Amino acid sequence: MKQDHPTTILALVGKGGVGKTSLSALLVKLLSEQYPDKKILAIDADPAVGLATALGVDVSSTVDDIRKSFVQTVEAGNNNAAIELLGEAKYQMFDALVELGDNISFLAIGRPESAGCYCKVNAYLKEVISMIADHFDYVVIDGEAGIEQVNRRVMEKVTHLVLVSDASKKGLSVVQTIEQVARELVMFDKAGLIVNRMPDLSLSDMLDTGDLELLALIPDDREMVLSDMSGASVFELPEEAPVVKGAKEALQNLGI
């Protein structure tokens, strides 16, 4: 049943290796705990499927699997079967959802399109993803580096663009560029920056964040490093862990 109020959609983007996936998983966890009566959808739009590991999810089917089955049917010359398959895509997409706990669902987009993929297919599947998102109160998208892929493969409209960087000048420059590009490619209501893995919080005055609103400064977190090394899910992190506190602060500053 479609929600009778707008869905809140958070897309996390930034350059690779800044802890974006862990923060995406933490936002899913915190929203689930804060709003136990609301429905949360976690979308893994990064081909590495790291969000699944961070949430402790086993992925058996992705959106790309659905896309590939369509393309293979077309390439085999069976157009009637391909049309029928595309008509069933929305049901296959719902089947690809993995339930996690009482109020979290997970959807993996899979690997980027291969040369044999079709623009109309991609556009249709993106519409189906948006349709599925309408059934949830909150959607958290873990995007790969840049914003073009979120726009092309997932959805054109997000409510909150969450830019994630480390403290490096290069990382901060990348997120400022992404935000500028996003203004042309993706519709969003609010954007903000999380600076993760700060080596020393006292150096915050040295950060060049441009015009971006700072949502949270998160110091290097040993608990998060140990969690990543062991492959544990974010649900096992202690509440006092700096990264958990930082994620909570970011949600508050986003007004969520």
Interval 2-53: pLDDT, tens: 566 689 999 999 888 888 999 999 999 999 999 999 999 999 987 776 899 9
**Domain range for 230:** 8-253
2 occurs within a structural domain: no
Which one-letter amino acid corresponds to residue 29? Answer: K
Bridge partners of 193?
163, 214
Instruction: Provide the domain count of the chain.
Output: 1
Q: Cβ(134)–Cβ(163) under 8 Å? A: no
- Please tell me the distance from the alpha carbon of residue 176 to that of residue 65, in angstroms, as a whole number: 33
- Quote the pLDDT of residue 104: 97
3 occurs within a structural domain: no
114 falls in which pLDDT band (50, 70, 90)? low
118 occurs within a structural domain: yes
146 occurs within a structural domain: yes
pTM for the structure as a whole = 0.90
1 occurs within a structural domain: no
99 occurs within a structural domain: yes
CATH number of the domain encompassing residue 207: 3.40.50.300
